Amino acid sequence: MANSVGAGAPTPVKEVTTASFRADVIAASATQPVLVDFWAPWCGPCKQLAPALEKAVADTGGKVALVKMNIDDHPQIAGQLGIQSIPAVIAFDKGQPVDGFVGALPESQVRGFIERLVGPLGAGGDELIAEAEAAAAAGDTAGAAALYARVLTEDETNLKAIAGLAKLHVDAGDLEQAKGVLSMAPPPATGQSPDPVIATVLAALHVAEQAASVGDLGPLEQAVAADPGNHQARLDLALALNARGRRDEAADHLLAIVKRDRKWNDEAARKQLLQFFEAWGLMDPAAVTARRKLSAILF
51-77 residue pLDDT tens: 889 988 887 878 899 999 999 999 999
pLDDT at residue 123 in the model: 56
Q: Tell me if the pTM is above 0.75.
A: no
Which DSSP helix (H) or strand (E) runs through 89?
A: strand 88-93
Q: Is the pLDDT of residue 2 over 70?
A: no
Residue 280 lies in a domain: yes
Measured CA angle at 192 (ends 150, 49), to 5 deg: 45
**How many angstroms separate the Cα of 194 from the Cα of each of 48, 161, 201, 292?**
23, 15, 10, 27
Same domain, 71 and 101: yes
**pLDDT of 17 over the 90 cut:** yes
In the predicted model, what is the mean pLDDT of the chain? 88
Angle at the Cα of 132 from the Cα atoms of 130 and 137, rounded to 5 degrees? 95
Range of the domain at 170: 125-189
Q: Compute the distance between CA of residue 54 and CA of residue 92 in angstroms, rounded to an integer.
A: 16
Which CA distances in Å does 67 have to 31, 54, 57, 83, 91?
15, 10, 11, 16, 10
Asked whether residue 102 falls in the same domain as residue 169, the answer is no
Q: Give pLDDT, residue 108.
A: 77
Q: Does the annotation count 183 as an active-site position? A: no
> Do 21 and 105 sit in the same domain of this protein?
yes
Where among 118, 134, 159 does a domain terminate?
118
Instruction: Indicate whether 182 and 222 sit together in one domain.
Output: no
Q: Stretch 123-128: mean pLDDT, rounded?
A: 71
Structural domains in the chain (count):
3
How large a percentage of the chain has pLDDT more than 90? Answer: 63
Confidence of residue 124 (pLDDT cuts 50, 70, 90): low
Answer whether residue 204 is part of any domain.
Answer: no
**93 lies in the same domain as 131:** no
**Which of the following is catalytic: 35, 46, 110, 152?**
46
| pLDDT score of 41 | 95
* Residue 195 belongs to a domain: no
> Domain for residue 78, yes or no?
yes
User: Catalytic annotation on 43?
Assistant: yes
Catalytic residue among 43, 166, 202, 273: 43
User: Would the pLDDT of 10 be above 50?
Assistant: no
288-297 pLDDT, tens digit each? 999 999 999 9
Residues 153, 236 share a domain: no
Q: Are 224 and 237 in contact (CB under 8 A)?
A: yes
Percent of the chain whose predicted confidence (pLDDT) is above 70: 94
pLDDT level of residue 157 (50, 70, 90 thresholds): confident
* CA neighbor of 134 nearest in space, from 126, 142, 124, 144: 144
Identify whether 243 is part of a domain. Answer: yes
Largest distance between two CA atoms of the chain? 88
Does 272 reside within a domain? Answer: yes
96 and 32 in a common domain: yes
